[in-house]
Each structure stands twice: as C-alpha cells, then as structure tokens.
Amino acid sequence: MTGPLPRRNRSHRLALTAAVLAATTLACGPVAYEIPIETPLQPKLDVTAFQRVLIAGFVAGGSDDVDTNQETVRLLRSQLRSKSSLRVIDADVMPLQQIAQEQSRPGNEATGTVASRDGAAGGPAPLLALPERIREEKDLEPYERLFANTAYWKRIGEEYQNPLIVTGTVLFTPHSRSGFVSRDVEQYDSFGRRRVMPVRTYMERKGFILRPKFVFIDGRSGATMYSESYREEILYNAQQATPALSSYFELMDRLVPNFLSTLSSQKIRGSRVLLK
Amino acid sequence: MTHTRTFAVGVLAAALFGAGPVFADARGEAKSHVEFGIDVAQRGLWREAIYRWERAIEIDPTYSAALNNLAVAYEHEGQLDKARTAYERALDIDPDNLQIRQNYELFKEINDRTAAEEKP
C-alpha cells in the first residue's frame, strides 16, 4: 500500500535528520577562529639620528579662550614622553609669533637666512607684513617664513644639543553651521515595539575647527625635514555650552595618533578571522 | 561499439575515482598544516604559523583558507605587501568568501590610511 507517510512518522524523521546534522557539525569543530592582531606601522620620519626632541612652540591663533600655543606644546610633550623613545626636552614654550615679528623688523640681525621673493629690477620685494592678530588661515601665511629661517633654527638646535625640533602653526577657531540634520528618534508602535527612525530637523550648531601644521626641523642644520597639516572639526547643538578647552582636547585626541606615527612606531590593534 | 563505449566510460570513471583520493590526500595534508598553524598562532607563535601556512600553500596552492591565514600573519608581522598579495590570491580563488573579504577590507583600512599619510 502506497501513500504519504503519517504525520507522526514524518516529524520523527525530520527530528532524527536534524539531530544527525547537529552531531556532525559538532564533531567537525569550528571552521573560523577570531584572533587579535597588532599591525606595526613604521614611523614616517627617520629619527634614528636623534635622541632628543624639542617641542619648541607654535604660531597660534583663533579663539582667545584657549592659549593654543601653550596647550599644544604641553600635550605633545606629554604624549611623546609616554609613547616615544625620544627624550623630551623640558624648556620654556617659545612665543613664536613675537619671535617672527621681531625677525621681520628691518635691520634685525637675528633674521639670518630668510627665503624672500625677488621683486622687480632693483632688488627684492618687501616681505608680507605679519598681522598682529591671527584669526584666519590667511593671517598665518606670512608667518611661514619663520620655519625657513635655517640659521635661527640651527642656533636653537645648538642651544639644546642638536635635537629634533617640532614647531609649526595652530589655528583653533569658533565655527557655526545651520541646516537640516538627520537624527535618530525612538518610536514605539501600538504593540510597544521600539523602532529607531531617522528624522530630519532644522538645527543651529556651533563648535570649533582645529587646523594644526606640524613642522619637523633638523636641529643640526636648521633645515625643515617634513611638515604635515591636519584639520578637525566638531559641532554641538547651539544650546549645549561646551567649553572651548574641552573641544580643543577632543579634537587634538583625534590628531595625536597621526602625530605620534610620524615619529615613532605604532601598533594598531584589531582582530581577524582565521579559517580552516 | 557499445562494449568500447562502456569500456571508455569505465576507464574514465576509474580515473576520476582514482584521482579523488590523491586530491583528498593533498588537501588533507595541507589542512593539518593549517590547523597546526591556527593552534600556534593562538599561542602567539606567528613565525611558526607562517611556516605552516606557507607549507600548506605549497602542498595545495588553491587552498584559500591557508592564503587568508597567511595574509593575517603577514599583517601581524608588518609585512604589508606580502599580506596584500596573499589576500588578493585568496579572493581570486574564493571571491564569495565573506570572512576573507572582511579581513581584506580591515587590512585595506589601515594600509590605505598609512599610504595616504605618506603622500607629501
């Protein structure tokens, strides 16, 4: 007699098949293993010739709420002490904006060798005037010639036994933006189930932009070895009163790993999957 | 004629069945190297793991799991060019393997970031 199997026999067969499959899987063992790894990254700069590093100071501008020169020097020295093999020189922070202004005064013998543009026939054109207050990026441009003053930096290097010198510019400016922003909003349906829905709302936000440029100078010759610029931005709800200094540190935290990777080997932790 | 055809089919079947165990042995031997490599990698012995996975690939060059594992080990040792080559070979063999692809994407995230920072 032929026909479909009774329902009870069919469900027994299915259960038995499932049990056999489960047992087989267990017997074979896992086929993938998650494993932690650390990828070493070589430093961008060859600093093997240096035992010491001088974080000299920065030409800083932007918000008056933060002494960006002091804070940047302090933070970078602290980071290099704990995460680099270079010995960090503990010296007074150099007021580079004032130093640059002194160097630009006519007849100042501290000027040394400065890159200048050739003007029309008759002699070199006058250098760009250095703005007293630094509010925007264009205010920083005339100060760049300070880093090309090799005689000056060589003299600094001799004073501190030929270290690697780190200097540059830092601009920390307030910033605001208004517009529609997509936010995730929790909603509950009639069954009480939670859902997250994107909702576009008009928002006024304010925050800060941090734009440092790090210049690495060979203290033995005064010549620039390398420079790198960064830009980080953070925005908050306009009603949120976040102190400028907190924002500065939050933005610098994002940049510090890249700064450190210029000078020292870093290891990036992650995990991968090994397969059988 | 039918005898000849039957004979030919029989020879072909015997060749296929005979070859099966040979391939199975090669993959089996490679697999044992891969398993040993996983075991020592989990203990932090990455150079031994590299040796085992390189051996597995010598035995069976189509073993995508061994190539994946070798790429991971090269990555851990900082040999990023070798890691990239091994990942790409593994994906050429097994392009639909999501785990290999995920490993490769994570590798590229670090490697591409490093390369971008090296640009003047």
> A18-22, A91-95, A115-119, B54-58: lowest mean pLDDT where?
A115-119
Report the range of poorest mean pLDDT among A64-73, A238-247, B20-29, B50-59.
B20-29
Of A228 and A117, the one with more pLDDT = A228
Distance from CA of B12 to the nearest CA of A (A): 32
| Residue A10 touches chain B, beta carbons under 8 Å | no
Are the Cβ atoms of B110 and A270 closer than 8 angstroms?
yes
Q: What is the pLDDT of residue A42?
A: 80
pLDDT confidence of residue A113: 42
Rg of chain B over Cα atoms, rounded to whole angstroms, equals 20
Contacts of B36 in chain A (CB under 8 A): none
If you average pLDDT over every residue of chain A, what do you get?
86
Q: What is the pLDDT of residue A110?
A: 47
Q: Nearest CA of chain B to the CA of A172: how many Å?
A: 22
Confidence grade of residue A59 (pLDDT, cut at 50, 70, 90):
very high
Contact B100, B106 (CB under 8 A): no
Q: For residue range B71-120, what is the model confidence (pLDDT) as tens digits?
A: 999 999 999 999 999 999 999 999 999 999 999 999 998 877 655 544 44
CB spacing of B35 vs A273 below 8 angstroms = no
Which candidate from A39, A40, A272 shows the least CB-CB separation from B103?
Answer: A272
Is some CB atom of chain B closer than 8 A to the CB atom of A229?
no
Which of A39, A216, A259 to mutate to test binding with chain B, by most B CBs within 10 Å of its CB?
A39
| Minimum CA–CA partner of B31 in chain A | A276
- Going by the DSSP 8-state scheme, the letter that residue A175 receives in this structure is E
Q: What is the pTM of this model?
A: 0.65
Q: What angle do CA A29, A35, A38 make, to 5 degrees?
A: 165
CB contact under 8 A, B41 and A274: yes
Which of the four pLDDT bands, split at 50, 70 and 90, describes residue A116? very low
For residue A20, the SS3 value is helix
DSSP state of A39: E
Mean pLDDT value across residues B65-70? 98
CA gap B18, B21 in Å, rounded: 6
Q: Does B68 contact chain A (CB < 8 Å)?
A: yes
Nearest to B69 among A258, A261, A274 (CB): A274
User: Would you place residue A128 in the very low, low, confident or very high pLDDT band (cuts 50, 70, 90)?
Assistant: low
Mean pLDDT, to the nearest integer, of A112-127?
46
Residue type, A240: Q
CB contact under 8 A, A275 and B31: no
Task: Name beta bridge partners: A133.
Answer: none
CB pairs below 8 Å between A and B: how many? Answer: 56
- Return the pLDDT at B2: 64
Confidence (pLDDT) at A120: 42
Backbone angles phi, psi at A250, to 5 degrees: -65, -40
A39 and B78 in contact by Cβ < 8 A?
Answer: yes
ipTM: 0.81
Contact B106 A40 (CB under 8 A): no
Residues for chain B: how many in total? Answer: 120
Please name which of A149, A154, A157 lies closest in space to residue A89, comparing C-alpha atoms. A157
Q: What is the dihedral of CA A58, A62, A66, A71, to 10 degrees?
A: -20
